[in-house]
């Protein structure tokens, strides 16, 4: 695909250098300790970053941002399709109809729009079938949130086999639409631009660096916050473009935007719903220790509240959640009145089973390739850590004392980066100077005889 730079460590989360004040807030909040403050600026340790966007959310100077595509990129393609995440609907109250939102998006310059919620319905059915199998590892872990999948690759590689091997809804939606548009309009699939209207940077990264497949069916991703203003204008103008001739997603698919919506759509019995990245981390620890074997399905979402709490959304997450729940209830009632049911069957081809590849562990926590050296480094690190104050203040630029001990061991920091150690050294030095100042050459020393 054009305009896509493939890089092993591509990340959409970036630093806007001139805004960064060098405070330690992002470094201390990063759930995977992937940020250091060096030379007065935050630095992201690329191989560690899981693109959860926690730093974007926390930075008071708005110095963290997500690289996403823009509407200008549409010009490179003959035919453009927008795939709005259901979280987009949560940015508006229920008085704004989904039809209006969809035609508003088309008015921004797309040729067609297709709801990711439809992909979610397909994926729900596929996961339902998957959970019926007796040969799978339990608890099965949802792979819909890319930040969670990356966290597992890095910190819990032993749980990779528990991940449900089914693409995320947006990927399925993109696959379906690329095939459909190409077939219906006789366009070369490579000339079709398929753009995800995304609530988070993690999904942006997943476009460039797919998880579980060789190549993404998406062309790019555009942040919800980036188009929100223009979309709002379109909605106010009441611009309605009648290009929505396809089936609409049901409430079941739309509900994926909120934590718990996915498990409900999947119909999992013994389920656990966990959102917010640190809570996700804690629960994964439990799973890894062999607890929670009675659970069938775990829905894990990096953002508090689910995708509606994504760092690239605009509306407050509680308001968004209320919007979404109201909308789903209303749709459910309307559908029932019209005897409309959620999607009941799907085509195997939508899942792209042949394109799947194994999700690989990323053991970046190890201190050295050589196990002997690694053992030595762990010991050095432990000794250094014992001598550090343990306040985890972050002034050294590492997120906590443990991380500083690791950085010193790896030669990336020094003990005097710790303000308390530095003070200790200065005090010792001052004392030594005082002692030396007291000393007299024996020829002048009259006190001793």
Q: How far is the CB of 403 from another protein (least distance, A)?
A: 12
Non-local (6+) Cβ contacts of 191 within 8 A are: 77, 78, 79
Residues 362-391 that bind another protein (CB under 8 A): 363, 365-369, 371-372, 374-379, 381-382
Contact segment (CB under 8 A) with another protein among 186-194, 357-365, 385-393, 435-443 equals 357-365
Task: Establish if 155 lies at the interface with another protein (CB under 8 A).
Answer: yes
Contact segment (CB under 8 A) with another protein among 39-47, 155-163, 198-206, 218-226 equals 155-163
Q: Which two tokens stand for residue 202?
A: 């993690």
From residue 419, how far is each of 107, 352, 422, 425, 446 by CA, in Å?
56, 54, 5, 10, 42
CA distance 221 to 183: 23
Strand ranges inside 26-177, DSSP E: 35-38, 41-44, 64-66, 79-84, 112-113, 140-141
Q: How far is the CB of 157 from another protein (least distance, A)?
A: 4
Q: Which two tokens stand for residue 334?
A: 């309307």
Residues 284-313 that bind another protein (CB under 8 A): 285-286, 288-291, 294
Task: Report yes or no: 195 and 83 within 8 Å, Cβ to Cβ.
Answer: yes
Sole residue written with tokens 């659970």:
295
Task: Establish if 411 lies at the interface with another protein (CB under 8 A).
Answer: no
Task: Report yes or no: 387 and 424 within 8 Å, Cβ to Cβ.
Answer: no
Q: How far is the CB of 374 from another protein (least distance, A)?
A: 5
CA distance 48 to 36: 12
Q: How far is the CB of 376 from another protein (least distance, A)?
A: 6
Task: Establish if 360 lies at the interface with another protein (CB under 8 A).
Answer: no
Total residues contacting another protein by CB under 8 A comes to 28
Residues 207-246 that bind another protein (CB under 8 A): none
158, 190, 386, 428: which one binds another protein (CB under 8 A)? 158
Q: Which two tokens stand for residue 411?
A: 């030669």
Q: How far is the CB of 47 from another protein (least distance, A)?
A: 14
DSSP 299: E
Positions that interact with another protein (CB under 8 A) = 155, 157-158, 160, 285-286, 288-291, 294, 361, 363, 365-369, 371-372, 374-379, 381-382
């Amino acid at each position: 695909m054009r305009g896509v730079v493939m890089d092993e460590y591509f990340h959409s989360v970036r630093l806007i250098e001139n805004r960064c004040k060098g405070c330690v807030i992002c470094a201390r909040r990063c759930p995977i300790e992937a940020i250091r403050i060096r030379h007065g600026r935050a630095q992201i340790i690329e191989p560690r970053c899981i693109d959860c966007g926690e730093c974007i959310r926390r930075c008071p100077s708005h110095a963290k941002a997500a690289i996403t595509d823009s509407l200008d990129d549409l010009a490179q393609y003959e035919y453009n399709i927008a795939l709005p995440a259901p979280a987009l609907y949560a940015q508006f109250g229920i008085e704004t109809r989904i039809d209006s939102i969809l035609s508003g998006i088309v008015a921004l310059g797309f040729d067609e729009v297709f709801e990711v919620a439809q992909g979610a319905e397909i994926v729900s059915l596929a996961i339902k079938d998957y959970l019926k199998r007796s040969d799978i590892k339990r608890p099965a872990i949802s792979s819909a949130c890319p930040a969670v999948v990356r966290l597992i690759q890095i910190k819990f590689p032993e749980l990779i086999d528990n991940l449900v091997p089914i693409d995320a809804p947006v990927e399925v939606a993109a696959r379906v639409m690329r095939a459909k548009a190409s077939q219906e309009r006789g366009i070369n699939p490579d000339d079709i631009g398929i753009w995800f209207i995304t609530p988070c940077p993690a999904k942006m990264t997943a476009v460039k660096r797919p998880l579980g497949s060789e190549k993404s069916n998406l062309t790019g991703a555009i942040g919800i916050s980036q188009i929100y203003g223009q979309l709002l204008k379109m909605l106010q103008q009441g611009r309605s473009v009648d290009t929505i001739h396809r089936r609409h997603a049901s409430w079941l698919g739309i509900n994926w935007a909120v934590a718990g919506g996915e498990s409900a759509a999947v119909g999992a019995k013994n389920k656990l719903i966990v959102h917010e990245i640190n809570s996700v981390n804690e629960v994964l620890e439990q799973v890894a220790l062999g607890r929670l074997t009675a659970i069938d399905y775990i829905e894990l979402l990096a953002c508090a509240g689910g995708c509606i709490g994504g760092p690239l959304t605009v509306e407050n997450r509680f308001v968004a959640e209320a919007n979404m729940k109201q909308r789903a209830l209303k749709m459910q009632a309307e559908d029932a009145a019209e005897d409309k049911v959620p999607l009941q069957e799907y085509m195997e081809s939508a899942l792209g089973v042949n394109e799947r590849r194994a999700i690989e562990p990323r053991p970046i926590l190890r201190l050295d390739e050589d196990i002997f050296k690694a053992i030595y480094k762990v010991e050095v690190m432990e000794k250094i850590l014992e001598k550090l104050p343990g306040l985890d203040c972050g002034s050294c630029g590492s997120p906590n004392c443990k991380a500083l001990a690791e950085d010193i061991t790896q030669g990336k920091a020094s003990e005097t980066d710790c303000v308390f150690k530095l003070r200790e050294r200065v005090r010792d030095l001052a004392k030594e100077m005082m002692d030396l100042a007291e000393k007299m050459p024996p020829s002048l020393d009259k006190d001793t005889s």
